[in-house]
């Protein structure tokens, strides 16, 4: 059991840290306030190899491990988790193709994404089906050699910039996955949602009205959709946890810098236990969240079942990020409640980690479900 990074991993972290200092952090406020999609930052991320890390080498990708992706993503989200989500979101829609796609599908939809900056989006969530994927109402009716899709998908990250979508729809009540090009007739893209945080991340609703998709764009067999979606979450939840860890690290650095510089009653703020203990807890919880994240990622990389560990990492890291953002605001006092300091942005950005890719309550349900099949914990 090793707790240190390899030389290659440390080099990756340093590269991501430099990219964040030069491109992400300087643009965080700009895109948070404008709500524009950070295409220029994504282009530089693509140029430097931070986009599409999971695409197999056979199709032009680098086939990076989940653990390595997590290391880079934590650094990027320390600068801005909204921009980090814009950079990382492709992975959520790409993995169903990596996991369940055939050679034709991978070559057609994954390979071009390694040649130029492109985006894809994961279309599963609906107005009445979020964490409960089984409640999706979008349908796909088989007509000849095509499927005709009808339904509405909501809160779709990267929806308006995507070139194609992974869409989960029911074929005769069987959840089935499809690759759907974004320029297909019948797709209606809504306006950008006005979310609480992560304003740089493009989120919209998408309506499918008699959208015709050829049979060769179906992923796996009819009824494989739920299995594909769940396996995708095992792959992506460690990355979500890493994004949350980035917020925690940013909160710690902001709080630490302010507490070391601010003086009250002729003493530095950090000299008061009420403040210093917050920072001590923040550091300890960050380390715990990191190790849970790294374990979940490493298990996936080793081909082992990581469902419980991925759920634990995602849930705990999200809770720590939210708590740390609140405590950072408290340390800064009045400054923590204004947009003069970045603490309030961390607070807004952190909340989504407790919700997307399965709310915290869903992660606990996954953990308990695993425990129910365990005779004894060792």
Tell how far CA 358 is from the center of its chain. 11
The CA–CA distances, whole Å, from 210 to 138, 174, 179 equal: 11, 19, 15
The CA–CA distances, whole Å, from 35 to 27, 30, 199, 266, 277 equal: 12, 8, 5, 42, 36
Beta strand pairing call for 146-157 and 120-123: unpaired
Place of tokens 């996955």: 177
Are 149 and 167 spatial neighbours (Cβ–Cβ below 8 Å)?
yes
Q: Helix axis angle, 273-301 relative to 66-79, nearest 10°?
A: 150
| Maximum CA extent, the chain | 80
Contacts with 9 (C-beta within 8 Å, 6 or more apart), sequence order: 67, 68, 71
Q: Phi and psi at residue 226, in whole multiples of 5°? A: -65, -45
Q: Report the distance separating Cα 318 and Cα 243, nearest Å.
A: 9
* 227: number of Cβ within 10 Å: 15
CA dihedral over 297, 280, 81, 203, signed as positive or negative? positive
357 is catalytic: yes
Shortest CA distance to 123 belongs to which of 76, 75, 184?
A: 184
Q: Helix axis angle, 66-79 relative to 81-88, nearest 10°?
A: 140
* 140: number of Cβ within 10 Å: 29
Hey, what are 177's tokens?
Answer: 């996955």
Identify the three-state secondary structure at position 378.
coil
List beta partners, residue 179: 166
Of the residues 221, 357, 361, 376, which is catalytic? 357
Q: Report the distance separating Cα 40 and Cα 97, nearest Å.
A: 26
Catalytic positions are: 357
């Amino acid at each position: 059991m090793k707790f240190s990074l390899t030389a290659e991993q440390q080099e990756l972290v340093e590269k991501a840290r430099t990219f964040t200092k030069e491109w992400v952090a300087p643009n965080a406020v700009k895109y948070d306030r404008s709500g524009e999609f950070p295409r220029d930052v994504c282009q530089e991320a693509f140029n430097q190899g931070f986009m599409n890390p999971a695409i197999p080498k056979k199709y032009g990708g680098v086939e990076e491990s989940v653990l390595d992706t997590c290391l880079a993503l934590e650094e990027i989200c320390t600068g801005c988790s909204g921009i980090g989500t814009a950079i990382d979101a492709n992975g959520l829609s790409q993995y169903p193709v990596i996991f369940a796609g055939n050679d034709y599908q991978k070559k057609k939809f994954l390979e071009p994404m390694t040649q130029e900056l492109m985006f894809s989006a994961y279309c599963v969530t609906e107005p009445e089906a979020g964490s409960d994927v089984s409640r999706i109402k979008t349908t796909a009716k088989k007509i000849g050699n095509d499927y005709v899709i009808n339904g509405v998908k909501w809160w779709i990250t990267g929806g308006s910039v995507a070139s194609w979508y992974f869409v989960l729809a029911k074929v005769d009540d069987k959840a089935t996955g499809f690759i759907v090009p974004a320029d297909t007739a019948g797709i209606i893209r809504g306006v950008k949602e006005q979310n609480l945080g992560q304003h740089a991340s493009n989120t919209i609703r998408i309506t499918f009205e008699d959208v015709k998709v050829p049979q060769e764009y179906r992923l796996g067999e009819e009824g494989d959709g739920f299995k594909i979606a769940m396996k995708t979450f095992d792959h992506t939840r460690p990355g979500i946890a890493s994004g949350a860890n980035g917020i925690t690290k940013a909160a710690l650095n902001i709080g630490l810098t302010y507490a070391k510089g601010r003086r009250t009653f002729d003493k530095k703020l950090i000299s008061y236990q009420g403040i210093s203990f917050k920072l001590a807890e923040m550091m300890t919880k960050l380390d715990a969240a990191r190790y849970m994240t790294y374990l979940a990622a490493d298990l996936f990389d080793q081909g082992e079942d990581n469902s419980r560990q991925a759920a634990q990492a995602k849930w705990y890291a999200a809770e720590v990020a939210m708590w740390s953002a609140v405590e950072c605001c408290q340390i800064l006092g009045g400054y923590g409640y204004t947009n003069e300091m970045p603490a309030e942005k961390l607070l807004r950005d952190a909340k989504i980690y407790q919700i997307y890719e399965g709310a915290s309550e869903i992660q606990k349900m996954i953990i308990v479900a695993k425990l129910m099949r365990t005779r004894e914990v060792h």
